[in-house]
Every structure is written in C-alpha cells, then in structure tokens.
Amino acid sequence: MTLLETSRLTLRPCREEDRDLFYELSSDPAVLAFFPFRRSRADADTVFTMIRSIVPEPGFDLLVMALKQSGEAIGLCGLSKPQLDPYLPKDAVEIGWRMSARHWRNGYATEAGLAVLRHGFATLKLDEILSIAVHDNRRALAVMRRIGMHPDPAIDFDHPQIPDTHPQLRRHVVYRLRAAEWRSQRQTEN
C-alpha cells in the first residue's frame, strides 16, 4: 500500500469514503473538459467499486490527494500501465492526476506529481515515466512541464479510444521523463 506525503498533502490509497469525490471527478464538466463523456452516479459507482476491488501491483495504487490540514480529499493521482500498444511502449508507465475544480490553481497537482515521480524513480526504480494529454489541455501540459517532464512529439498520437463524435479530443501529446534526467534535475535543485 502506497502512502506519500508532501508539505501540504497526503497521498493515500482510495477508500470507500472517497466514492463522492470519484463521482465529482467523473461528472464535473470543468474537470472533464478534455474527456469525451461524463459519468452518471450509477456508472461512477460501478467504476469506483471495480477500482476498489482490484489489488494493484505494488506502487500502482490509485492515490487520493488529501489536504493534510483538514483531511479533505481533493483529487486523484498515481502511476498506471496504459494499454496503448502500438502507440506507447508495452512497458510504459504513465503518471496522471485529476483534481476537483474548486482546488485548481493552488499547485496541488504539481506537488502531488513531484511526489509520485519521486516514488516512481527512487522507490520503484522505474527507468522512465510518461504522461499523456489532449494536445490543447494547457493546464495538464503546464503541470507536466512544472514537474520536469518534456514533450516528445515523435510519439504523439491520435487516441484510439476517443469516439468520432469528439475529433477535437483525439490528438494526444506525450511528455516523458527518464530516471537519469530526474536525478540530474534533483542535483541541480540542491
């Protein structure tokens, strides 16, 4: 079970009490501006139950970002292994996040992202971590840059799971960070 801490956040495994947060993040039009669908309460509950029933590979928990001061759950962050062959390498590891709109513009996604990268590289000994987003999702791309990732246009792709009804969401950009780059960035910061 993964448990990470930052100066303002606790990143902990998802619990039953996070069901309402999951529904909020699955239905809020602002949060889902770059997703092709929103989930009903019933659909969100079904997916949440499924997520909670899966025993993740060590280090690949769906982590809830909770404010240390109040314990309020504000978003999700974590590592996953996307199944997007041939678009991404078979062994690719992706970092991703989704946060309640009422907590945007406070640096929480960056803070959580940095902690998850540190966990991925220092604890899990990953060689590389990717992140993908819709090509014009400026908020997500800004977080990727702030956590030290860089674009790799050579592997950008049209996401095969985006329906034809949403062509503006099809093009995805890929950002990446290799372990050696991460270590170098940390040495520069110190």
Residue 88 DSSP symbol = S
CB atoms within 10 A of CB 5: 11
Distance of alpha carbon 30 from its chain centroid, rounded?
16
Q: Is 67 helix (H, G, I), strand (E, B) or coil?
A: strand
CATH architecture of 4-189: 3-Layer(aba) Sandwich (3.40)
* Predicted structure pTM score: 0.94
**126 near 120, Cβ under 8 Å?**
yes
**Boundaries of every domain in the chain:** 4-189
pLDDT band at 189 (very low <50, low <70, confident <90, very high): confident
Q: Cα–Cα distance between 92 and 97 in angstroms, integer?
A: 17
pLDDT tens-digit map of 32-57: 999 999 999 999 999 999 988 888 88
pLDDT band at 150 (very low <50, low <70, confident <90, very high): very high
Q: Is the dihedral of CA 165, 78, 139, 156 positive or negative?
A: negative
